[in-house]
């Protein structure tokens, strides 16, 4: 624990600093409130959740790769799998198994490290599911097919309106809830 202004708060994992630095470098100035929100969410959660979310966030800018689970190329379920495995946490590798591995929760109760599922367009027009890692209730990290020039690769997406909130299928919890939120309903 570190002391700041007479209040105790958990020490921040060094990976969080790296992830936030990467995020700041990749983000436009208009996302400053989002970066502050991310930093606050990561500081106020458990070390396991900090690590899972920070590992996912640190991959922003990496390329998409079919059937890849890192360290520099990821498919959607591979990114979630990698973030959990870097923390020593079990998570199935396949998207279908990830979908059923956790307990459904509302987005409002989501914490860093929870999984979020979306229905996205596919070339055959039927759509498909994809998974991302929640960073805070407004931001997730996803690995999307395609080159970065076309919006593919590992990237942050906003959950608080627009395209991604309309495509959200659900949120799933696998890690224990943070102690500070144990009295909140989930």
Contact 49, 113 (CB under 8 A): yes
- pLDDT of amino acid 186: 39
pLDDT in tens, the chain (186 residues): 433 334 333 344 444 444 443 433 333 333 445 677 788 888 888 999 999 999 999 999 999 989 979 889 999 999 999 999 998 999 999 999 999 999 999 999 999 999 999 988 777 777 889 999 999 888 999 999 887 777 789 999 998 878 888 889 999 999 988 765 444 433
Instruction: Kindly state the DSSP code that residue 147 receives in the 8-state scheme.
Output: -
What is d(CA 114, CA 137) in angstroms, rounded to the nearest whole number? 10
- pLDDT of amino acid 34: 67
- pLDDT of amino acid 179: 61
Fold of 12-174: endopeptidase fold (from Nostoc punctiforme) (3.90.1720)
Domain residue spans of the chain: 12-174
- pLDDT of amino acid 165: 85
With b for 16 or more beta-carbon neighbours within 10 A and e for fewer, the 97-113 pattern comes to ebbebbeebebeebbbb
- pLDDT of amino acid 105: 96
Predicted TM-score (pTM) of the model is: 0.76
What is d(CA 116, CA 137) in angstroms, rounded to the nearest whole number? 10
* Strands of 103-105's sheet in order across: 103-105, 168-173, 115-120, 128-136, 139-144, 153-158
């Amino acid at each position: 624990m570190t002391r700041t202004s007479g209040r105790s708060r958990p020490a921040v994992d060094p990976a969080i600093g790296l992830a936030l630095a990467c995020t700041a470098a990749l983000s436009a100035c208009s996302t400053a409130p989002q970066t502050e929100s991310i930093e606050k969410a990561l500081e106020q959660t458990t070390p396991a959740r900090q690590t899972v979310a920070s590992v996912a966030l640190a991959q922003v800018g990496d390329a998409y790769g079919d059937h890849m689970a890192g360290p520099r190329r990821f498919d959607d379920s591979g990114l979630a799998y990698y973030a959990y495995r870097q923390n020593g946490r079990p998570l199935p590798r396949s998207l279908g198994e990830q979908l059923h591995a956790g307990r459904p929760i509302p987005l409002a109760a989501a914490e860093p490290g929870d999984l979020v599922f979306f229905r996205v367009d596919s070339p055959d027009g039927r759509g498909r599911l994809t998974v991302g890692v929640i960073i805070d209730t407004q931001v997730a990290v996803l690995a999307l097919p395609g080159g970065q020039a076309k919006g593919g690769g590992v990237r942050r997406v906003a959950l608080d309106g627009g395209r991604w909130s309309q495509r959200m299928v659900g949120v799933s919890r696998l890690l224990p809830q943070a102690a500070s939120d144990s009295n909140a309903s989930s």
